[in-house]
Every structure is written in C-alpha cells, then in structure tokens.
Amino acid sequence: MAETYETRGLRRVFLELWGFIKNSVGNFFSLEFLSLFIPLLLLWEFLPRWNILPESLVPSLSTVAEKFWDMLLHRDLVFHIAYSMSRFFTAFIIAVVLAVPIGLLMGWNLKIRAYLLPLWQLLSPIPPPAWVPITIIFFGIGFRMHTFLMFIGIFYPVLFNTYQGIKDTDPRYLASARVFGASEFTLLRKIYFWHAFGSIIMSLKTGVAMGLVMLLIGESYGGRAGIGYLLGQAKDYFVIPEMVVCMAILGFIGWFLIEVLKYVEIKLAVWKVGR
Amino acid sequence: MIEARSITKFFSVVNEKGLAEGLTAVLNVSLTIPDGKIFSLLGPSGCGKSTFLEILAGLQAPTDGEIRIDGSRVLEPLPSTRKEMEAYKRRYRFISPVANGVFRDHPKHDIAMIFQDYAVFPWMTAIQNVNFALKLHKIPRAQRNERARFFLNRVGLAGVEHKYPSQLSGGMRQRLALARALSVEPKIILMDEPFAAVDALTRERLQDDLLKIWGETGVIIVMVTHDAPEAVYLSDEVVIFSPGPGTIRNRISIDIPRPRRRSDPEIIEIQDRIFAMLQYDLDQESEYSI
C-alpha cells in the first residue's frame, strides 16, 4: 500500500540493499555463531601451520586466500564464474518458466493431472547424471549440453514442489472465493498461487542446489571454461588450494542465491512476517 | 426467497473393509426461506447441515432435487442414468460444475458465505480482502477503497485496514469476514458455524452486531450452528436436523419480537425444548447402537 512504500528512487534501492545485507550477512555476526566460527577459522589456519596436519594435504586459510587472489589476477577467475553462471541462469529461468505453470495447472485440474503426472513420475526417477551420455550425443559438448543438464536437475524439484503446494490449497479459501464469483483464472492468480507461495520458493531453493550439482557434473565432461573446469584442472594437477577455492566459490554462489530467494520471500510474503 | 425442493445428497465412501459404500448425507430436505428472515440449521455434527448449506451456495451439486433462489436454479442436479452421467462428465471434462468460468469473473447469485475459520485470505490485508470481493462484483476501481472503508467501519474495524489477518484477533477476523460479505450487498448470507471459534463474550457481541446490521439491511441469513442458545437468540426459525441420513427433524418458529433478551423466559423455554429433543435423539441413538 502507498503508506508503506513512501521512499522512492535511489534512496529506495539503497534501503533495499541494506535490508538484504542485514538479512543475509547478519546471521554471521551473532555472538553465538562467531564464538563457533572464529575458533574454527583459527584451527584451519594453525593446525596445518604448526604441522599438526600435513600442510601439503590441508592448505591453511591464508594459503587458500593467497591462491584466491592469485587466481583472480592470473587465471581469469571472474570470467570462469561469469561463464558458469550465465549457463546456470539460462537453465534456471527456462526450468522455472516451464515448471511453475505446469505445476500450477497440474495442481489445479484433475484432468490435466491425469494426463501429465504419470509422465513426470516415470521420467523424474532417472538420476539427472544418467542423462549425460545421451545429452552429449545430442547436443555435443558446449552451451546447450550444460544448459540442458542443469535444466533437468532444476525442473523436477520445482515442478513437484509447486504441484504439491497447489494441490494442498485449503478448499475453504477456494469455496469462499467461488461464492463471490471468482473465475478459475482468478483463483489460480489470487488464491492457489499465494497459498503455494512458500512451497514455490522452497522448490526454487532445491532447484538452486540441484542446478549447482548438475553444473559441476556437466563441466567435468569437457569444456574449456567454468568453475567445474577449474576444479577438474586443479584435480589433474593436484593443486589442493585451487580445489578449495573452487569449493568455496561454489558454496558462496549457492548461499548467495538462496539468500536472494529468502529476501524475495520476505518482501512478497509480508503476511508471514511477524507471525 | 430460497426454495429447496427435496434435496438429497449421496456420497460413495470407502468403509473399513475397503469396500465402496453409500452414504446419504442429506435425504429429501425441502425448505422455503422467505426474504428478510434469519434461519438456523441446528443439529449434532454429521447430520448433513453443512452439506446442505454448501448445496445452497452452489458449492456442491445435489444428487436429487434443486435449489432455486428467486426462481432461478443454483446448480443442476447430478444425472441419474449412466448415459446422462457420461454426457455430464464430457461437458465438465476440464472445469468442474461448481466453477464460475475459466476467465470471466461472474457471481451467479447474490450470495456471500462466511466460514467457521474465517476463510479470509491471509495473504491480503483487511482492505485488500474486501476489495477482492468488490472487484469480483465489478465495482469500479475508483470506488472500491471508499466502499471497503465504509463496510470496515460498519463492523468496527476502522484503523486496521492495512493489517493482515494474522495480526488480527479471532473476533476481528470474523468481523472482517462479515465486512467482506456485506460489502457486495448480497441478498443472502450463508454462515457455516460463524462464531464457533471465538470466545463466549466476543461471540455475544458479534451476535448483537450481526442482528444490528441485519436490521439495517434485511438480508436473508442462513446459519449452520450447533449452539442451541445462539440459534434461538438470533433466528426467526430454527430447523433441527437429525443424522443418519440427514433429514429435518423439527422446525421451531420463534415469534419473539426483537430486540430479545438472552434471559427471556420464553427463549429459555424454547432452548430447553430443543435441548430435550437433541438429548432424546442422542439417547435413542446409543440404545440403537447397543
């Protein structure tokens, strides 16, 4: 409503950014977490340094940080990240644009469900990595193959969670809207969707996790760029600090995307806040 | 005027042996409700009164019989022969018979319905909830806010327009449901145990407010309840249902002029009669089951 969004323009953007940072990074600065996290970081730094763990196998925190800086300057790390992420987002957007509407329709209508659901139930148990050989034959190695593999990973969790959320919509909400004369399309937009909103966001989080798994699997089968490729190279040359840097970057990307989704949920599902 | 002509509702259920079994929820119920009256449907749980109310609202098709509101039929009954059934299934292949249409919002009758657990949408603020109903009734956007505020004020919800239902108390949520129902100026308000989930004091206040608003608008109110004092205090006629199968057991019209007092001896006497009747049914039932 008008009263709550009075700040506009650049100021608003900064406010939102600040809100996002507070919500995401804020968790790290609680006393409870820091009292666990700082000792862990210190152990990571000093166990290898004092040779309690072999330095050659367990690189210390500072070694990893140095390696990260080195890769940033000399190994085009930013390019590799952008390369992987562009594919990831292409796959993510295609999967969400297809899976959410299909899930909506399947949850809404018994007949559509009867046509479509068995198909997904047959296809979804195939583990996504099992698609790799046939995808390579069809698409070759490259953009289309990587995107398709990630799509397969993201599509099913989003589809099934959306479907489940829609199907579980409380019939009383539907009944009271129907008595007021709501058409089925209005029900989908105003009732089903918002009732299932929590499960849809949840499904997107699962999708992010599955997409990152498929990103690594796809890029480990050839390709000349990407984080998966860097990780593969680090493995071939046995450079443990580089492996750790790649792992940390992947972890960061997953964490960041999930925080973005959480923030979207807080912003759109205002009614759930303060419950 | 609502006319229910020999309404029967039959369900297939699966019994404990895993076999299909017939269940008659409502059997041959006929009832005429004239304009401007409050009717209560009273009875123990499982006596088909809620099913009957949903049939009135057009949320379920009756197996037999029909509901007419001011002469126009609410929903066609389910077909009785196999051939008709096939045609019916073909016609409603993609969209259920209770749906209003795929894209066009279209209130079929001037009905509003209020449920026990509010059924106000938790993802909309109070005013958005009312606006939602107004939009479905084709009220132009420019008038919606003003009209919504008017009805929120009327039920005593001024100042909480922008609160979400989760931030309101149980009684306030029920008032919101009432405001939303009133905002479309319906001819009929159906209530399914509207005050069952609020505490006793709030319930009495809500009942008085309902009577006041009813006095100003003169809508038909049909209320399902299992609270005999509530039914007697509010209604012009109490229709008592008995279970297994759900039929009308008795009808008691109450001609005490309003405003009534809850402690009026006449009201107490009618209450006692109803209690005795329900108690008798329960006793018979337990004897029968032994």
pLDDT tens, position by position, B239-287: 988 877 888 888 888 888 888 888 888 888 888 888 888 888 777 765 5
Instruction: Please tell me if residue A23 touches chain B, with a CB cutoff of 8 Å.
Output: no
Structure confidence at residue B102 (pLDDT): 78
Structure confidence at residue A152 (pLDDT): 93
B112 vs A1, A179, A269: nearest CB: A179
- Domain that includes residue A162, residue range: 59-272
B107 vs A109, A180, A274: nearest CB: A180
Structure confidence at residue B288 (pLDDT): 53
Mean pLDDT computed over A57-66: 87
> Residue A32, CB half-sphere, CA atoms under 13 Å: how many?
2
Question: Last residue of a domain, which of A15, A38, A58?
Answer: A58
Q: Domain B2-110+187-289 falls in which CATH fold?
A: Rossmann fold (3.40.50)
Q: How many CB atoms lie within 10 A of CB B230?
A: 22
B164 vs A contacts (CB less than 8 Å) = 270-271
Q: Are A113 and A215 in a shared domain?
A: yes
| Alpha helix positions (H), chain B | 49-57, 82-91, 126-136, 141-154, 170-183, 200-217, 228-234, 265-289
Q: Are A130 and A47 in a shared domain?
A: no
Q: Are A34 and A96 in a shared domain?
A: no
A186 vs B57, B105, B117: nearest CB: B105
Residue A2 pLDDT grade (very low, low, confident, very high; cuts 50, 70, 90):
very low
Q: Are A212 and A144 in a shared domain?
A: yes
B58 vs A contacts (CB less than 8 Å) = 179
Q: Which residues of A104-122 are buried (b: 16+ CB within 10 A; e: fewer)?
A: bbbbbbeeeeeebbeebee
H or E, element range at A83: helix A77-108
What's the CA gap between B124 and B132, in Å, rounded? 9
Cβ proximity of B167 and B218 under 8 Å: no
Q: How many CB atoms lie within 10 A of CB A73?
A: 9
Q: Are A121 and A41 in a shared domain?
A: no
Return the SS3 of B6.
Answer: strand
Q: Are A179 and B59 an interchain contact pair (Cβ–Cβ within 8 Å)?
A: yes
Residue B198 is given by DSSP the state: S
The structural domains of chain B, with segments of one domain joined by +, span 2-110+187-289
Q: Are A183 and B106 an interchain contact pair (Cβ–Cβ within 8 Å)?
A: yes
- Give A138-164 pLDDT, tens digit per residue: 998 888 999 999 999 999 999 999 999
Written as one letter, the residue type at B215 is G
Residue B118 pLDDT grade (very low, low, confident, very high; cuts 50, 70, 90):
low
Q: Are A148 and A184 in a shared domain?
A: yes
Q: Are A104 and A35 in a shared domain?
A: no
Region of poorest pLDDT, from A118-127, B101-110, B192-201: B101-110
| Alpha helix positions (H), B14-164 | 49-57, 82-91, 126-136, 141-154
Mean pLDDT computed over A25-46: 88
Q: Are A120 and A49 in a shared domain?
A: no
Q: Are A51 and A63 in a shared domain?
A: no
Structure confidence at residue A3 (pLDDT): 47
- Count of A–B CB contacts within 8 Å? 94
- Give B176-189 pLDDT, tens digit per residue: 998 898 888 888 99
A270 vs B contacts (CB less than 8 Å) = 164
Structure confidence at residue A6 (pLDDT): 61
- Give B27-56 pLDDT, tens digit per residue: 888 888 898 889 999 888 778 888 888 888
Angle at A79 between CA A78 and CA A84, to 5 degrees: 100
Region of poorest pLDDT, from A219-223, B19-23, B75-79, B155-159: B75-79
Structure confidence at residue A5 (pLDDT): 54
Q: Are A75 and A165 in a shared domain?
A: yes
| Alpha helix positions (H), A109-192 | 110-123, 132-139, 143-167, 171-179, 184-186
User: Structure tokens of A5?
Assistant: 């969004």
CATH of the domain at A188: 1.10.3720.10
Task: Specify the long-range contacts of residues B261-267, CB closer than 8 Å, at least 24 apart.
Answer: B262/B204, B262/B229, B262/B233, B267/B229, B267/B232, B267/B233
Q: Domains in chain A: how many in total?
A: 2
What's the CA gap between B101 and B136, in Å, rounded? 12
User: Structure tokens of B66?
Assistant: 């029909």
Q: Is the pLDDT of residue B289 over 60?
A: no
Q: Is the pLDDT of residue B126 over 60?
A: yes
Q: Are A5 and A110 in a shared domain?
A: no
Q: Are A219 and A250 in a shared domain?
A: yes
Residue B60 pLDDT grade (very low, low, confident, very high; cuts 50, 70, 90):
confident
Q: Is the pLDDT of residue B290 over 50?
A: no
